[in-house]
Amino acid sequence: MATQLLRARGPGSALVLNQFGKKHSEADLLLRRISEKCNQDITQSEAMVVQAVTIHSSNDREISDSHQ
């Protein structure tokens, strides 16, 4: 989700306009970007764990089947 940013007019302005024209401070935008990045990393990690568990349980079934 890319947000196009436009600097608010005026000297020393710390506000930024997002694509919907809402004003946000640069600190808020930085926090939002960090949060989005962390959420992406967490989602990727969760997917890797699910994949690892799926592979592990598949291997367990194969071993179990070969012992019967």
Provide the number of structural domains found in the chain. 1
Residue whose structure tokens are 């000297």: 11
pLDDT at residue 23 in the model: 65
Residue 39 in tokens: 């959420």
Which residues, in sequence order, are bridge partners of residue 20?
none
What confidence score (pLDDT) does residue 33 get?
84
Tens place of pLDDT per residue across the chain (68 aa): 444 444 444 444 455 555 566 666 777 778 888 888 887 777 777 777 777 777 766 666 665 566 55
Residue 12 belongs to a domain:
no
Domain of 46, in residue numbers: 30-60
Q: Is residue 41 in some structural domain?
A: yes
Position 4 scores a pLDDT of 46
Report DSSP state, residue 1: -
Residue-by-residue DSSP string for 11-47: TT--EEE-TTS-EEEHHHHHHHHHHHHHHHHHHHHHH
The pLDDT of residue 3 is 45
Are residues 18 and 3 in contact, defined by beta-carbon separation less than 8 angstroms?
Answer: yes
Coil vs helix vs strand at 65: helix
Is 38 inside any structural domain?
A: yes
Q: What is the pLDDT of residue 11?
A: 45
